[in-house]
C-alpha cells in the first residue's frame, strides 16, 4: 500500500478541495484513502461517505466517515454500490480519475447520486507542470511511486484536457483552482502561468 499524507499547505490540493465543501451536507469522497478530507470536518454537520479499493485505508477512514465502501472502480459496477440517487451535495474525485480506465464513464455514472443542485470537485495532476517539461527537454519521462508521474496513472491531463473531460461528462464548470505548495498563492491570483506552475488542477462543476 502506498503512503499518502495530508497536504497542509494553504494552496495545496487538499486545502483547495476543503475550501469548496460546505459545513453541512452529504459528501461522497471517491478514492478517500484514509479519510483525510473528512477528518477536517469532524465538528461540522457533514456526513461523509468514502469509497476506496484498499481495505487497510478504509479501516482508518471509517473513524471519520458515516459509511465506507470497498470497491475497485476499474472492476466494480458503480450502479451496485448501495448509494441513493440524488443524495449527495458534493462528490469529490480527488486525484482518482487518472487511475481509472474510463474516467469519463465514471463521471457519468456517478451523476445519478448527485443532487440536482449538487457539485463535483475534480482534482487532476498537471502533466504540463514545468518540472515535467524540464525532464522531457532532456528526454526523461521516468515513472515514480507517487506524484504527477505515478506509475499507476493511466491518463495524463493538462488544464485544457481536464476541462474537456468535465465538459464531455455534461457538467458545467463553475471555477478552476490550481494546487501548488510553492506557487499556489501566485497562480491563483495571476493565471498567466497556471499551466506551467500548477501541480494539480482543481475543477468545481455542477450538473447541466
Q: Is residue 199 part of a domain?
A: yes
**Per residue in 78-112, pLDDT tens?**
988 989 999 999 999 999 999 999 999 999 999 99
Q: Is residue 142 part of a domain?
A: yes
The CB-side HSE value for 114 (13 A sphere, CA atoms) comes to 22
* Rounded percentage of the chain residues whose pLDDT exceeds 70: 98
Q: Is residue 59 part of a domain?
A: yes
The whole-model pTM stands at 0.93
Q: How confident is the model at residue 10 (pLDDT cuts 50, 70, 90)?
A: confident
**Domain carrying residue 44:** 13-207
**Per residue in 141-172, pLDDT tens?**
999 888 999 999 999 999 999 999 999 999 99
What CATH number corresponds to the domain at position 123? 3.40.50.150
Number of structural domains (the chain) is 1
Among the listed residues 184, 168, 175, the one whose alpha carbon sits nearest the alpha carbon of residue 204? 175
Length of the chain: 208
Q: Is residue 60 part of a domain?
A: yes
Q: Is residue 124 part of a domain?
A: yes
Q: Is residue 7 part of a domain?
A: no
Regarding beta strands 24-30 and 88-94, do their DSSP bridges make them parallel or antiparallel, or are they unpaired?
parallel
Q: Is residue 3 part of a domain?
A: no
Q: Is residue 8 part of a domain?
A: no
**Alpha carbons 20 and 17: distance in angstroms, whole number:** 6
Amino acid at each position: 500500500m502506498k503512503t499518502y499524507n495530508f497536504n497542509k499547505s494553504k494552496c495545496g490540493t487538499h486545502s483547495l478541495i476543503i475550501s469548496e465543501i460546505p459545513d453541512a451536507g452529504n459528501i461522497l469522497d471517491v478514492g478517500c484513502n484514509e479519510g483525510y478530507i473528512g477528518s477536517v470536518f469532524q465538528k461540522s454537520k457533514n456526513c461523509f461517505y468514502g469509497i476506496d479499493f484498499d481495505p487497510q485505508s478504509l479501516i482508518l477512514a471509517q473513524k471519520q466517515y458515516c459509511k465506507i465502501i470497498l470497491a475497485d472502480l476499474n472492476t466494480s459496477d458503480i450502479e451496485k454500490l448501495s448509494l441513493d440517487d440524488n443524495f449527495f451535495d458534493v462528490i469529490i474525485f480527488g486525484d482518482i480519475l487518472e487511475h481509472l480506465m474510463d474516467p469519463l464513464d465514471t463521471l457519468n455514472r456517478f451523476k445519478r447520486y448527485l443532487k440536482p443542485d449538487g457539485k463535483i470537485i475534480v482534482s487532476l495532476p498537471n502533466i504540463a507542470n514545468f518540472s515535467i517539461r524540464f525532464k522531457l527537454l532532456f528526454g526523461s519521462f521516468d515513472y515514480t511511486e507517487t506524484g504527477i508521474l505515478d506509475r499507476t496513472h493511466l491518463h495524463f491531463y493538462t488544464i485544457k484536457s481536464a476541462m474537456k473531460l468535465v465538459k464531455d461528462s455534461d457538467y458545467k464548470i463553475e471555477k478552476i483552482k490550481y494546487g501548488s505548495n510553492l506557487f499556489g498563492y501566485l497562480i491563483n491570483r495571476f493565471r498567466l502561468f497556471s499551466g506551467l506552475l500548477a501541480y494539480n488542477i482543481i475543477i468545481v462543476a455542477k450538473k447541466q
